[in-house]
Structure 1
Amino acid sequence: MRYPLPTSKLRTGVALAVTIAVSLTLASCGGKNRPKLAYEERPVELLYNTGYERLQRKRWSDAVDYFQEVERQHPYSEWSRRAILMQIYAYYQNGNYAESIAASDRFVQLFPGSPSAAYAYYMRATCNFEQIVDVGRDQGYAEAALAGLRDVARRYPGSSYATDAVVKIDMVNDQLAGKEMNIGRYYQRNNQPLAAIGRYNAVIDNEAFQRTSHTPEALYRLVEVYLTLGLKDEAVRTGSVLGFNYPGSPWYSEAYALLTEEGQTPGTAPTAQRESWLRRIIPG
């Protein structure tokens, strides 16, 4: 059985053949305006199908109630396994990311060998991914998302989950590299050049960050800082690396103009293997 993905749309207009008429007893739940289902033993198929019908109508909280009831009344059954997966999705769609992550963790703990565990791992990573905030704030969600996405790609290579995870991994790396750049620019503006160099190097030394959009700027900022410190040889060498790898970049144009103003001309970077070029720009 396939379970809904965050990017998919639930099909509408599907008729559920529920032939048993049932009356649902509702009881208030303290602290919440929405009533909860009172316990009443019902056929598992009816509970599950009713929850699925609520899911299709985008009544996410109601759907969760029915799927939870499946779990309570029919634990350790195949229906219970499916119900947890549906809770993961309903919580996600309702924006209850913490609850979706908790349901994903519960599924993995209860059914670690299930083929559907891939879905649980993927949704846990996706919930963290969708809570990533701007680079000016704490990147805890980004780091959690990166760890989860890497786990999905490692556990389920070749799957659709892994394919999407790889795309998201690049996006998260760009976010984390942007965070380093944001801090580096802060240090540079506040006359802390050594601290700024450390942050810019964090971008260019990290192989994952090297593929992000921030690498050309990091090299340019190093040129700026080295010139500020009077380290012209390092500035020229860094400018050369920038020009060799990003010859059409506006950051290289800026670096070239900056160096020529200082009476320096960036040369040609050594033609060694491209994957190791960034490691040679800073001695030690």
Structure 2
Amino acid sequence: MKRFTAVLATAALASAATVRADEPLKVVFQGGRTVPIEALEFKGGQFVVTVAQEGLTVGQAVPAASADHIFGDKPEAVNKGVGLMLLDDPVKALGALEPQLVSQKVTAAVPGNFWVETARAAILAYANMGNSSKVEALGKELSDATPEAGQDPVVGLAKVLLMPAATKVDAKVAAFNEFINDSTPTDVAAYASYFKGAALLKGKKDAEALEAYSVVTCLYPTGNSILNGAAEMASAQFLSNQKRRDEAVTLLNAAIRDAHNSPVADEAKKRLESLK
């Protein structure tokens, strides 16, 4: 009987998790009222109801300042897009990110939104493609959505990625260093250190690259879990090349945990298998 009860409990928990995952993201307003983001649009600094809700009619305006936070799970496509961007596949990354830029835009000014993270990743993906016009256009959208912060620093970081391929490594490193500080948003600083590591690798400065990747996880661990996993995987490759297998295995396992349910975790699993 105890075993049967445990099975039922497990099934119930799994069912509850499924229900939550399927719940639409909602804007939580002051006072506790929640409204699915699909039932809102943002116009003239206000939320406008597009689908009638309990106590709200179509066309009713709700002040933006009354939005408290976002409730719900991050869309899987965001992590997928971030992972693909970090694996240097910007076209597929944008295939995942661009629909989220549209669906999440209404939440852009609400604390806890996923649109800003999505926009920053998309800007970096455009930069990796060499598409400066898209970087500028989306950068303006991002800055307009968060006017109190001015131009988002990810735009400046993207411009570093857009530097000509012939730019000397030392010049790129110096440019990346401008964004690795406590005044830069944590995820942008972490991205800067990650791409600094990649630039150092291309410049045959492997030990310095390892240090840059370590900065991501040691100084900016709250920046982005997928980014943490990518940095750990890159560090593992360096250690593997140095015949430091045990350390590489440890880092790959950490990457799988940190970047779970993303292309980075999938790639880390493949690399772990190759070390066995």
Decide: shared fold, TM above 0.5. Answer: no
**TM, length-normalised to structure 2:** 0.41
**TM, length-normalised to structure 1:** 0.40
Specify the structure having the higher radius of gyration (Cα). 1
Higher relative contact order (CA 8 A, sep 6+): 2
